[in-house]
Amino acid sequence: MTTRFEMNMIAELACLNMAVMKALSGLAAIAATETGRKGDYLSRILETGLRDLSATRYPDIPDDQLPMFLEMASARYTDLITGIRERPA
């Protein structure tokens, strides 16, 4: 069973995720009007974001769990960017 605290944390993350998706969608649409290619902009965002995720220190994640954490975070980030790329402009 999910506690109220856990539901609030998940709701907060869902809200932040949606805000980021909307902001990036808007930026991608602007990039598409300037270059005609929304995918190029999002490809750069995906590439640099994945690189930055792996370069960031996560002091609360134990060293033995860091690879799994990075794999999960990278998969979620890729899904977010890919979802924006696949939406019509």
The pTM assigned to this predicted structure is 0.73
Could you report the per-residue pLDDT of 25-67, keeping only the tens digit for each? 888 888 878 777 777 888 888 899 899 989 999 888 899 999 9
Locate the domains of the chain by residue range: 4-86
HEC string for the chain: CCCHHHHHHHHHHHHHHHHHHHHHHHHHHHHHHHHCCHHHHHHHHHHHHHHHHHHCCCCCCCHHHHHHHHHHHHHHHHHHHHHHHHCCC
pLDDT at 11: 87
Mean pLDDT taken over the chain: 85
